[in-house]
Copies of this chain bind each other. A is one copy, B any other.
Amino acid sequence: MTNEADAAALVEVLTRASARIQRALDRSAAEHGVSPTQARMLSALRDGAPTMNELAGQLGLDKSSASGLIDRAQVRGLVRRVPSQRDRRSVRVRLTGPGRELAAEIDSLVASELATMLEPLATGQRSALASALGQLSAPDQSACARPGS
């Protein structure tokens, strides 16, 4: 009977929690002087050196957007464009030393912010949360086509 109300409440709490997490991410990025998108990009680059195309796909951006994004990061010395020998049209984006360091710092700050947020939860609730969220179905399984190349 309360199904309706429960569903609405769940939507409410989900969007609210999502917004809170998003704010934590934004804050962590801002704390280190980069934009949210920059932070997302840095984090994505931590494991791999994708091409512009792959990076854009990974971040859900247009190629032109990614281009500008990398431009700005490069000016700051956070990333490097490494021309690919296999395909001379192609460029691989890599974190520089400072870039890698910054990425690690931001990720760690995010983790600590979220940890603070999770403090009021009991251990059982945490695992229930993890289990529930982990089960949320993947909408775009094909999207993350392993670059392989």
Please name all residues of chain B whose beta carbon is closer than 8 Å to the beta carbon of A14 when the two chains form the complex: 21, 114, 129, 133
Q: Is the CB of A132 within 8 A of B136?
A: no
A66-74, A91-99, A120-128 - interface stretch:
A120-128
Q: Is the CB of B15 within 8 A of A133?
A: no
Interface size on A, residues (CB 8 A): 42
Please name all residues of chain B whose beta carbon is closer than 8 Å to the beta carbon of A16 when the two chains form the complex: 133
Q: Is the CB of B13 within 8 A of A115?
A: no
Among B11, B115, B120, which residue has its beta carbon within 8 angstroms of that of A114?
B11
Q: Is the CB of B127 within 8 A of A6?
A: yes
Whether A119 contacts B137 in the complex (CB less than 8 A), given A14-B114, A110-B15, comes out as: yes
14 inter-chain pairs at a CB distance below 8 angstroms, sorted by A residue, are: A9-B130, A17-B18, A17-B133, A17-B136, A18-B22, A20-B136, A116-B137, A117-B137, A117-B139, A120-B137, A121-B135, A125-B131, A128-B129, A129-B132
Point out residues on A near B: beta carbons under 8 Å: 6-11, 13-18, 20-23, 25, 60, 110-111, 114-121, 125-137, 139
| Apart from A11-B114, A15-B21, A119-B137: 10 A-B pairs, beta carbons within 8 A | A6-B126, A10-B130, A11-B115, A18-B25, A116-B137, A120-B136, A125-B135, A128-B128, A128-B129, A129-B129
